[in-house]
Structure 1
Amino acid sequence: MNENFEERDEVQATVRRFEQMVASNESAFFDLAEFESIIDHYTTNTQYDKALQACEAAVAQYPFSTELLIDRAQVLAMKGEYTAAATQIEAVALLDPDNPDVAVTRGIIATQRGDFSTAVDFFLGAVERAPDRDDIFFNLGLAYQSWQKYKSAAKYYKQSLRLNLDNDVAVQELLYCLEVSERLEANLDFFRRFTDEDPYSAIAWYNLGQAYYRAADYEKAVSAFEYAILIDNKFYEAHGYLASTYVSQEKYQAAIEEFALSYEKDQPTAEALCNIGECYEKLENWTEARRNYQRSIDINPEMDEAWFGIGIVLNAQERWLEAIHFFRKATTLYDESVEYWLALAAAEYQLGNVVSAVEAYDRATQVAPDNKEGWLNWSIILYEQGNFDGAIDLMRNAVEVQPAEAELYYRLCAYLLAAGRYREAYEVLENALTLDFSKHRLLFDYFPELESQRALARLIDQYRK
């Protein structure tokens, strides 16, 4: 097996041993390097409370270790406890002023505080003292990314990966910066170079696969992930990404088989089972979809996607009353998903629960005011109840939020016509026709009887190119 993965397995085993110690409230011995790897594991996975807990346990065993005191300061900064972090690092600076990690930690605190220029200066100072450390370049990338200077961020993430190809977070952040700055296609060679230099590096093929995946070149992504798996068939993350690539190609059966290989034997993860459930859902195999979603929840009751998935399955079977329970649970676990609120609203409306449906649509438009479905579906309820003025006011709000969305203007025009407010309707229609003439058919989809209105036809003809 690839040395990187052996190392990763060792870290996982050490973390499990530490968590058993915490759970049983007993003391166990860990050497300094083990504590460092535990803390690093938690910070990489943004589990800062656990990272701080590991720092406290480590400092209790090794009270004079400057490395651990520095780790503690960095974790405090990541948790947003800047004053405590600054106090801690200044105490270390008195003991060891030339330690590059003092500058790194000051940089992390400045980044977290939003003082990006100062952060960059600190990190560049650290680079001068330790030019071969990938984590310093990674932090430079993060500072520039937080500053929204994506080109500079990408430059330093690349430097970080040249020194350590096995930093998956750096890969993800680099790909994000390249996407945001629309430079992904032009930078695929950066990832290809690593496979050219070492064709037997599973991680190089895996990273290249991720780059192709993000560039939506799914055929090449499949090939790259297959190479990674060929080199190391226990590369679970590569199996997971290959499965996701198959999902993007709508090859759901192939995806199911790969998701089932994305974890250790007989140790399925909640994420993998939820993904398998979604694939069965796409195949309309409701029984297997629900079974896998439920297994996902059994492992992790906080898995909002799985609760939502069962709701979707029940919804497809027109079992709306049961679906509502699962949709509501999903919104409780993750309140910021417009998809969850829209599904809940639609199910409530199917059962005639108008008040609950309106409340859910209201929440959907708060969560994602730029999602037109919430506004459109909410307005239909008001219109069907004969509340034309309410529907009109709602759509006026919608067009204020999304002034470039033609469909909202056409719907507003339809409601104004229904209310007999013709002059206003024609003004709105002119806006709609200017924005997107081709969508004028929507007006007649909403109200077929409007096709016979000559004044309307004449106005539309004036905008016909």
Structure 2
Amino acid sequence: MELSPSNDSQKFSLKKFESMLKTNNVFFFDSSEFENIIHHYLEIGKVALAKKAINLGLDQHPSSINLRLFRVEILIFENDFNAAEKLLNSLFELEPNNEELFIQRANIYSKKDQHHEAIETFKEALKIADDCSEIHSLIGMEHLFLNQHEQAKTHFMKCVNLDIEDYSSLYNIIYCYEFLNQTKEAIKYLNWYLDQNPYCEVAWHQLGKQYLEEQELKKALTAFDFAIISDDTFVGAYLEKAKVLERLDRHEEAIEQYTIAMGIEGTTAFTLLKIGFCYEQIKKNDLALKFYNKSIEEDPAFDKGWMSISLFYFTKKDYLKSLFYINKAIDIDSENANYWLFYSKINERLNYLEEAERGYKRTLELGECSLETWISRGDILLKLGELEAAKYNFVQALEQHPKSEELEFRIAGICFKLNEPETGYTHLLTALHFNAEHVFILEELFPEIYTQKAVSHFIKSYNKASN
């Protein structure tokens, strides 16, 4: 138990201990005082001070099982499993029915990734435990390590049955349902839970999220309303409710919910951005831009704010301003493929072909390798007269999209232009085989090739044969 400022005796023990460390005077503490001091330091992450308290405690109380258990805990924390196991064995000889000994042994197994052994050892602890809830939770976590979500769910449910306000276990139960794609089952369980604990804002919030998964927006809205009724300071419920209202095209109501959320937790760049988006949807562009700008004033490193302003200007066909703001977003997150893709499209609209090509190349390097992106880059290279680079681009694309007539027609046209007729006919034949109706690609991109007598005859002969 963490020391409480209101507990004068515990505060006194802590001050007395720290004074002893500073002066090198030795004061006497009973073993329970040492236990509280050690627990306090472990809770706040001061392991070195906890170790000092354990050593001094064992000097004064060498037979204390609990103090020696703290030493075991430290040894496990430091991955000194052999020493921890040796000390545990000696303690088992003294107290073979001490559940904490089984728990610590199971913790050793867990840290050694021996999760099956950990589970069996925790089950031994269950047989003698006074408080089974903690042990069921630990078993549940071990099953999660093994990706055994059904078994984990069972043990977390036992925790909730023992303590209906065990919200940590409730979250873990919902996590298991989500991992198993059991949305309907999650809804059923949460409704059961709310019958037992009807004013639990956490459960209502989670129920709303599950209804969203099922696209039941009105039920989700009702659940978030009940979450707010249960706790009118629950910011997450206001935000989720606002998102649902957006999807229902009730943007003015959504703005109201976002405003309430800001009144509770303070202004955030994200909430300002969402309000701006809502205003844009109801065609209040001045207010939309005002809130978008407020979002980046609130947090200049909020890349989504810069991106949203770029999108705003793009829809208004103000491509120069759009380019300015997307550059700001890229400066903040240069590894975002979507930003580079949008950067390329803006530059393409401005006819800045070299920059557009650079953007598409970067987009592909970052893993956004859709067929559209490959084609966009290759077509720009064609416009720039970079035939070899365009061909290489399309050949690379073909490795990821091997049955694309769009790529095959383009490669065929380039090969003919590069005076590689044999390869050109091979790709043209493949393209026609995939989809002969899309021959207009060759006609539009390479009209001088399409009208060549030999190529035209080849296409007609293919169509005649295939009919």
- TM norm structure 1: 0.66
Q: Distance in 2 between matches of 1:89 and 1:218?
A: 55
Q: CA deviation at 1:296?
A: 3.0
Aligned length: 391
Q: How does 1:443-458 map to 2 (within 5 A)?
A: 443=441
Q: Distance in 2 between matches of 1:335 and 1:171?
A: 37
Residue 146 of structure 2 is aligned to residue 144 of structure 1:
yes
Distance 1:125 1:363, change over 3 A: farther
Instruction: Name 1:166's counterpart in structure 2.
Output: 167
Mapped contact 1:383–1:415 kept (Cα < 8 A): no
Instruction: Name 1:86's counterpart in structure 2.
Output: 79
Residue 133 of structure 2 is aligned to residue 132 of structure 1:
yes
Q: Distance in 2 between matches of 1:37 and 1:273?
A: 40
Instruction: Name 2:357's counterpart in structure 1.
Output: 358
Instruction: Name 2:291's counterpart in structure 1.
Output: 292
Distance 1:337 1:94, change over 3 A: farther
Instruction: Name 2:222's counterpart in structure 1.
Output: 223
Q: CA deviation at 1:412?
A: 0.6
Supply the AA of the counterpart residue of 1:166: Y
SS of match in other structure, 1:233: coil
Supply the AA of the counterpart residue of 2:167: D
Mapped contact 1:416–1:422 kept (Cα < 8 A): no
**What does the per-residue CA deviation read over 1:216-251, in whole Å, with 9 as the maximum and x for residues that have no partner?**
322221222122223332222111111222334444
Supply the AA of the counterpart residue of 2:79: A
Supply the AA of the counterpart residue of 2:172: A
Instruction: Name 2:408's counterpart in structure 1.
Output: 413
Q: Distance in 2 between matches of 1:89 and 1:293?
A: 58
Mapped contact 1:127–1:136 kept (Cα < 8 A): no
Distance 1:242 1:364, change over 3 A: same
Q: Distance in 2 between matches of 1:463 and 1:157?
A: 64
Supply the AA of the counterpart residue of 1:396: V
Q: CA deviation at 1:373?
A: 3.6
Q: Distance in 2 between matches of 1:66 and 1:279?
A: 60
**What does the per-residue CA deviation read over 1:255-284, in whole Å, with 9 as the maximum and x for residues that have no partner?**
222222234447123332233233334445
Mapped contact 2:211–2:217 kept (Cα < 8 A): yes
Residue 49 of structure 2 is aligned to residue 56 of structure 1:
no
Supply the AA of the counterpart residue of 1:384: K
Whose RCO is larger (CA < 8 A, sep 6+)?
1
**What does the per-residue CA deviation read over 1:111-168, in whole Å, with 9 as the maximum and x for residues that have no partner?**
xxxx4xx2354255346536312642552354134xxx55555555655665555237
Q: What do you get for the CA RMSD once the two structures are aligned?
A: 4.7
Instruction: Name 2:118's counterpart in structure 1.
Output: 122
**What does the per-residue CA deviation read over 1:269-307, in whole Å, with 9 as the maximum and x for residues that have no partner?**
333223323333444544333333333334433322222
Distance 1:399 1:266, change over 3 A: same
Q: Distance in 2 between matches of 1:315 and 1:166?
A: 45
**What does the per-residue CA deviation read over 1:364-393, in whole Å, with 9 as the maximum and x for residues that have no partner?**
223234433432322221132233443343
Q: Distance in 2 between matches of 1:445 and 1:171?
A: 59
Q: How does 1:433-448 map to 2 (within 5 A)?
A: 443=441
Distance 1:299 1:425, change over 3 A: same
Residue 254 of structure 2 is aligned to residue 255 of structure 1:
yes
Q: Distance in 2 between matches of 1:188 and 1:398?
A: 44
Report the structure number with the largest CA radius of gyration. Answer: 2
Instruction: Name 1:207's counterpart in structure 2.
Output: 206
Q: Distance in 2 between matches of 1:336 and 1:441?
A: 37
Q: Distance in 1 between matches of 2:348 and 2:192?
A: 55
Mapped contact 1:380–1:391 kept (Cα < 8 A): yes
Distance 1:102 1:353, change over 3 A: farther
Q: CA deviation at 1:459?
A: 6.1
Instruction: Name 1:79's counterpart in structure 2.
Output: none
Supply the AA of the counterpart residue of 2:180: L
Q: CA deviation at 1:177?
A: 0.4
Distance 1:123 1:346, change over 3 A: farther
Q: Distance in 1 between matches of 2:428 and 2:252?
A: 50
Distance 1:69 1:375, change over 3 A: farther
Mapped contact 2:409–2:431 kept (Cα < 8 A): no
Mapped contact 2:228–2:237 kept (Cα < 8 A): yes
Q: Distance in 2 between matches of 1:397 and 1:364?
A: 14
Distance 1:87 1:301, change over 3 A: farther
Supply the AA of the counterpart residue of 2:138: I
Q: CA deviation at 1:342?
A: 0.8
Q: CA deviation at 1:69?
A: 9.1
Mapped contact 1:160–1:170 kept (Cα < 8 A): no
Mapped contact 1:137–1:160 kept (Cα < 8 A): no
Residue 426 of structure 2 is aligned to residue 423 of structure 1:
yes
Q: Distance in 2 between matches of 1:70 and 1:259?
A: 49
Unaligned segments of structure 1, at least 5 residues: 1-31, 41-53, 75-83
